[in-house]
Chains A and B, each alone.
Chain A
Amino acid sequence: MYSEKVMDHFTNPRNMGEIENASGVGTVGNAKCGDIMRIYFDIDENQIIRDVKFKTFGCGAAVATSSMATELVKGKSIYEALEVTNKAVMEALDGLPPVKVHCSLLAEEAIHAALWDYCEKNGIKIEGLSKPKNDISEGEEEEEY
């Protein structure tokens, strides 16, 4: 069902983890749909993404697209990172099953959300970058059992 690249990124995810005091953090998706992605950026004074980490709750494709997305933006400027589309993520993974395309969209949104967070903290305005629409806080309250 998945390409070898997807399986590789799922079983050996790149850049998995978190960054303390990150320059920008974006969380998208919601637990209701079964996918949550969080991306952390460490961005230097030249607006270059020095480091990137992710955490993902979701299926194999969700983990793989997060992993690939972090690979594609690492070392890039924030403007270049903004250009990384879900299509680019999918192509880099040698494709996704049709029902999993939304995972790649989520990865693109996660990058945008983390960039938005960085820009907002630093008073930067970028054409075409808007406030992320997927807000995890919309999800239900965490329930204990």
Chain B
Amino acid sequence: MEEKKFIYLDHAATTAARPEVVEAMLPYFTEKFGNPSSVYTFSQQNKAVITQCRDVIANSLNAKSNEIYFTAGGSESDNWALKATAEAYASKGKHIITTKIEHHAILHTAQYLEQRGFEVTYLDVDENGLVKLDQLKAAIRPDTILISVMFANNEIGTIEPIKEIGEIAHEHGIIFHTDAVQAYGQVPIDVDEYHIDMLSASGHKLNGPKGIGFLYIRTGLKLRSFIHGGAQERSRRAGTENVTGIVGLAKAVEIAFATMEERTKKETAMRDHLIDRLLAEVPYARLNGHRTKRLPNNVNISFQFIEGESMLIMLDMKGICASSGSACTSGSLDPSHVLLAIGLPHEIAHGSLRMTLGEENTMEEMDYVADQIKEIVTKLRAMSPLYEDFVKKNK
């Protein structure tokens, strides 16, 4: 019998912590357990370690160490960036600009702020998922206090024109936040060059541990404390530091940036091979997201006439882990808001498949996956009344 395969193609959901990361973390669970806020040497060593970790992260972004605030992850960073900016700058204005394709950590927080008297403009994107700069400029008002645009989209992988957006925000004196949860560690980011004032990132998307992330906050920004109750994180985010998480995150960041060029080159080659094969060999398939302004590891393809969850189950039976923008995978009746925002009709959005690659994947796996997808699509189309109607109509 053929050995059961395990091909993990859901790195945008989460990644495995690297062995080096786990190894770096382990002593801080046991022998180096000290609370960094304590006075004695044993604990002060942990305070020093946190400072070193903060330096590693600051360097990766061309930021200053005291601009990095550790959080529990991307969602917390996004919540903090939006809520605290809104509160601190409410006297200046009550208008926020974001996009229709943000992660729910941004969208739901923006809706929360709308219920509290803020006005939010949700920018459209073009068919490739790119923010339209003209529309952004036109949306700016005298009372606009914040622009929040994701660095790269988690579903379709499109990389936004962050530098241009940053320049526009800067020219108008508006704070610019970017959710870089998917992009950080995948593409080079320089907060000064891109005029980024705040940036959210998460550890477990780049082979670090879960439950740790950070928010970059540019010096000089007025920003309220997110969690009260202690002097940690310059009194802005109280609570005993997640030392193990911080150590793991810094190790993951160190490796991710040291290997970025080589790793993303390999991923891009696999990505392009998988995309090319699927588009060439499966009829009525389309690539979602920009073809080149795209995360190195993202493949998102819609297969017409079939539904995503069915595909995922069949892929799972072949040992392949992927995800979909279909309603059935979201627990609601609507397919992914991102796929609708790029103009896909509902039934095509339901038939989307996202595969996000990692460095441990291989070209052989891409070929196996492409072969399996071809079979699965054929099988599901044979079952589909939509395909039947389409074939009859075109006879």
Contact = CB atoms under 8 A, between A and B. Distances in A.
Given A34-B335, A58-B307, A18 B388 contact: yes
A34 B328 contact: yes
Contact of A140 (B306, B328, B345, B388): B345
B310 A142 contact: no
Contacts of B314: 11
Q: How large is the interface on B (under 10, 10 to 19, 20 to 34, 35 or more residues)?
A: 20 to 34
- Number of chain A interface residues as a range: 20 to 34
A11 B318 CA distance: 12
A57 B317 contact: no
Contacts of B335: 34
A1 B258 CA distance: 40
A145 B310 contact: no
A63 B383 contact: yes
B385 A55 contact: yes
Given A16-B383, A99-B331, A143 B348 contact: yes
A34 B327 contact: yes
Interface in A1-39: 2, 7, 10-11, 13, 16, 18, 27, 31-38
Interface of B is mostly: helix
Interface centre among B331, B385, B387 (most CB of A within 10 A): B385
A62 to B, nearest CB: 8
Q: What are the nearest 9 A-B pairs in CB distance?
A: A31-B347, A59-B328, A59-B309, A38-B385, A55-B385, A34-B350, A32-B346, A34-B327, A57-B384
Interface of B: 286, 305-310, 313-314, 317, 326-328, 331, 333, 335, 345-348, 350, 382-388, 390
20 contacts: A18-B388, A31-B350, A33-B333, A34-B326, A34-B327, A34-B333, A34-B347, A35-B307, A56-B383, A56-B384, A57-B306, A57-B347, A57-B383, A57-B385, A58-B307, A59-B308, A59-B309, A63-B383, A99-B331, A100-B328
